[in-house]
Amino acid sequence: MSETQGSALQWLPHVLTVAGSDSGAGAGIQADIKACAAAGVYCSSVITAVTAQNTVGVQGVYSIAEEFVTEQLRSVLSDMKVDVIKTGMLPSPGVITVLCQIIKEFQVGTVVVDPVMVSTSGDILSGPSTLTGFLEQLLPLADIVTPNLKEASALLGGISLETVGDMRSAAKSIHDLGARNVLVKGGDLRGSSDAIDIFFDGEQFHELSGPRIITRNTHGTGCTLASYIAAELAKGTPMLLAVQAAKSFVESALLFSKDLVIGSGPQGPFDHLYRMKKHQNDINGPNSRFSADSLLLYAVTDSRMNRKWSRSMAEAVKASIEGGATIVQLREKEAETGKFIDIAVKCVAICRSYGVPLLINDRVDVALACDADGVHVGQSDMPVLFARKILGAGKIIGVSCKTPAQAEKAWADGADYIGCGGVFPTTTKKNNPTIGLDGLKAVCLSSKLPVVAIGGIGAENAQSVMELSAPNLKGVAVVSALFDQESVVAETDRLKSLLMDMVMTDR
């Protein structure tokens, strides 16, 4: 898509969730709406049951009559263009039957089935009488089904699932029941330090692993994951990438919310809109213009690579964020000023919608024009003192440093962070001297500012960088390992998972 195209009418991807209400708002319809909102997707809702529920458990369930579920479905589908239906709690066989009839009648394009049967607190939400409906009617309509271990076992007649091998066999068997894609979630698998999920598309298995975040606030993760997948599919994201983006979203939301206290029971909700809060804290907080934690995975764009892979800057930026980039820099060395501002305005809007800060490389004027969150300057670009004078106190300023003396000056002049490299040789930036891990360590030890490492860094060597274990080394800045790749989302997601593992084991 061209960077300058615009249209008068706005289209918003649309997910319809057909699920139960959770009065505590951690799971169910409430989680689905928040997950879609976080993904930038409209979410309408058909309520199948109302539960009295909190962080302790489920105190009561009131099922909505089939006729009224039908009425709600018809109200939405006869009026609105729904891209994806996502199902959650379906309390009776009759509700499953009417839902399947209506999916066929309205020819809904994509169906995501979260086979909710038992709540995370162990309460039954959909009894054994619904099993036949799932197996015979709903699964054959499903583009993806997302059972956890207990649900996969229930769908397969109660078999035991104890290993990753068992999960693979279960994914295949559920695929044989008619679902086109299957994600068996291994969060409850005993004896594994990572959360391993198995994705099967009918031909290939993918083992998707992510760090297990230690927190009580996991209520609603299943609903959220399925809804985020539905939201990504509604935007046109291919299935595997949608699953990866959803996993990455849930991981980040759990990490951000791990110390949140809502309710006194054993399972709390988490904050779906953490990106907005994070952005506000980072940029508008009373004492700090940015959180150094956002340097964890710093995506630096490259227009030559975008051309090579036929993607616009906006597409590249969006993909890196969906893969889990925590801060983005537009590094544009070729475009004329007007064109650069045009691109930057679009990218600022994208980054802001995700709560991810966007900085401009070199060009303080462009940063000001597009209201970016800040700039990154080098030793031969505009000096930090002047950049600060122009941009004011509220913007982020990063500066490249190769030596402790430069790091000291960066701090004295009012920079917010240091970009330190080239750690390893790179072909992305010509004639760039390499300082190695020793040079990086020397800068980190002397710097009073947070540091992000740059130069030749990717999934294969990120650990050797982070292992320096300097408390102010906050992450890696990466160009080619994210953008000179066929799938920016997948590569960003891969590197992000590795970095999160490193950060988690450090704690």
Ligand X SMILES: Cc1nc(C(=O)O)sc1CCOP(=O)(O)O
383 lies in the site for ligand LCLJCK34, by CB under 6 A? no
Residues 6+ apart with CB under 8 A from 101: none
From the list 27-35, 185-193, 420-428, 492-500, the region that binds ligand X by CB under 6 A is 420-428
Single out the residue of 210, 421, 439, 450 in contact with ligand X (rule: CB under 6 A). Answer: 421
Examine the residue annotation and report whether 220 is marked as an active-site residue of this protein: yes
290 lies in the site for ligand LCLJCK34, by CB under 6 A? no
480 lies in the site for ligand X, by CB under 6 A? yes
CB 379 within 8 A of CB 349: no
Task: Write phi, then psi, for 266 (nearest 5 degrees).
Answer: -75, -15
C-beta of 364: minimal distance to ligand LCLJCK34 in Å? Answer: 12
Residues 6+ apart with CB under 8 A from 302: 331, 428, 479, 480, 483, 484
C-beta of 340: minimal distance to ligand X in Å? Answer: 17
C-beta of 376: minimal distance to ligand X in Å? Answer: 9
Site for ligand LCLJCK34 in 92-151 (CB under 6 A): none
Buried/exposed 106-116: b ≥16 CB within 10 Å, e otherwise: bebebbbbbbb
Enter the tokens of residue 452.
């992000």
CB 364 within 8 A of CB 383: no
Single out the residue of 381, 434, 445, 446 in contact with ligand LCLJCK34 (rule: CB under 6 A). Answer: 381
300 lies in the site for ligand LCLJCK34, by CB under 6 A? yes
Examine the residue annotation and report whether 48 is marked as an active-site residue of this protein: no
C-beta of 384: minimal distance to ligand X in Å? Answer: 15
Q: Output 18 or 377, the one with its CB closest to Mg ion.
A: 377
444 lies in the site for ligand X, by CB under 6 A? no
Residue 218 CB burial class (10 angstroms; 0-12, 13-18, ≥19): buried
Enter the tokens of residue 214.
């230690």
CB 336 within 8 A of CB 365: no
Residue 125 CB burial class (10 angstroms; 0-12, 13-18, ≥19): buried
Q: Which residues bind Mg ion (CB under 5 A)?
A: 362, 378, 381
Q: Choose from Mg ion, ligand LCLJCK34, ligand X, none: what does 428 bind? Cβ within 5-8 Å by kind.
A: ligand X
Half-sphere exposure of 441 (CA within 13 A, CB side): 9
The catalytic residue among 17, 51, 120, 218 is 218
C-beta of 360: minimal distance to ligand X in Å? Answer: 13
Examine the residue annotation and report whether 122 is marked as an active-site residue of this protein: no
From the list 120-128, 245-253, 282-290, 376-384, the region that binds ligand LCLJCK34 by CB under 6 A is 376-384
CB 440 within 8 A of CB 422: no
Q: Choose from Mg ion, ligand LCLJCK34, ligand X, none: what does 408 bind? Cβ within 5-8 Å by kind.
A: none
Residues catalogued as catalytic = 185, 218, 220-223
